[in-house]
């Protein structure tokens, strides 16, 4: 698997992903409502710097950022089509917006900037085990004090094999994603079967701990779709 191959799907079929999210089949509405609530709790609204790895078109994160504006937003994605749309979705933000067309690990590894929030939505499961470890190392190095790594992604159950996970997810897609035309549904299923490598929460926690992010908190869970916050210290929220 290469990043280029796994992201080619999004370059080609961005409209299919949009259709899936339009019907809320991956719980984007509920997930991003919780992300929005979480960002509202930051004490540095208007001053925090956010890096969005695998930002796609930022359609769901953008409203949360409008409510809790950062001081700087950088989105990284391999899909130019998605980045073009992201520019439109983020147009209402008044802070500097940087959209980078690159592999998320390469972009993050080469950054000398520090971040208050590193956000990533439904992108990490495309990485190999070693690449996920690299991502956590980058987060451990680049997060400022009080920083959060906020990860939205699909998760495997503890001790569940990838094969068993895929059987369940593909069944869920075929049974529940009823408004996706059959040929497009099968294209999405083939993409999941080839490129999805989700981890269990305990594996992610181990990777995070090895990078100094010793706190983890599950923010939400909807079926296989979860949001986890990793941080160096216990997060301080406004009361």
Ligand X SMILES: C[S@@+](CC[C@H](N)C(=O)[O-])C[C@H]1O[C@@H](n2cnc3c(N)ncnc32)[C@H](O)[C@@H]1O
Select the residue interacting with ligand X from 6, 68, 220, 224 (CB under 6 A).
6
Please name the residues in contact with 33: beta carbons below 8 A apart, sequence gap of 6 or more: none
Distance CA 150, CA 1 (A): 25
Select the residue interacting with ligand X from 25, 27, 60, 136 (CB under 6 A).
60
Please, what is the minimum distance in Å from the beta carbon of residue 12 to ligand X? 11
Token reading at 43: 């004490």
Q: Is 10 in the site for ligand X (CB under 6 A)?
A: yes
Select the residue interacting with ligand X from 16, 25, 51, 54 (CB under 6 A).
54
Q: Is 104 in the site for ligand X (CB under 6 A)?
A: yes
Among the listed residues 120, 124, 100, the one whose alpha carbon sits nearest the alpha carbon of residue 110? 100
Select the residue interacting with ligand X from 122, 136, 169, 230 (CB under 6 A).
122
Choose the binding region for ligand X from 42-50, 78-86, 90-98, 225-233 (rule: CB under 6 A): 78-86
* Residue 77 burial (C-beta neighbours within 10 Å; 0-12, 13-18, 19+): buried
Evaluated on CA atoms 134, 137, 142, 143, the torsion sign reads: positive
The mark string for 149-188 relative to ligand X (x by CB under 6 A, - otherwise) is ---x------------------------------------
Distance CA 191, CA 129 (A): 18
Residues near ligand X (CB under 6 A) are: 3, 6-7, 10, 17, 54-56, 60, 76-79, 82, 103-104, 121-123, 126, 152
């Amino acid at each position: 698997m290469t990043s280029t191959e796994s992201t080619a799907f999004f370059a080609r079929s961005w409209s299919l992903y949009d259709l899936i999210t339009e019907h809320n089949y991956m719980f984007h509405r509920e997930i991003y409502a919780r992300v929005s609530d979480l960002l509202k709790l930051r004490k540095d609204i208007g001053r925090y710097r956010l890096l969005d790895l695998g930002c796609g078109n930022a359609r769901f994160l953008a409203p949360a950022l409008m409510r809790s504006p950062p001081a700087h937003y950088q989105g990284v994605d391999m899909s130019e089509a998605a980045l073009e749309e992201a520019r439109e979705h983020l147009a209402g933000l008044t802070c500097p917006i940087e959209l980078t067309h690159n592999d998320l690990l390469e972009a993050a590894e080469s950054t000398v900037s520090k971040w208050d929030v590193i956000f990533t939505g439904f992108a990490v499961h495309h990485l190999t085990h070693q690449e996920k470890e690299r991502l956590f190392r980058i987060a451990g190095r680049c997060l400022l004090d009080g920083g959060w790594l906020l990860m939205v992604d699909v998760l495997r159950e503890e001790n569940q094999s990838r094969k068993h996970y895929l059987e369940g997810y593909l069944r869920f897609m075929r049974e529940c994603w009823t408004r996706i035309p059959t040929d497009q549904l099968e294209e999405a299923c083939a993409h999941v079967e080839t490129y999805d490598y989700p981890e269990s929460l305990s594996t992610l926690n181990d990777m995070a701990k090895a990078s100094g992010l010793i706190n983890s908190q599950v923010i939400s869970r909807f079926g296989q779709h979860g949001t986890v916050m990793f941080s160096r210290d216990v997060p301080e929220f406004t009361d």
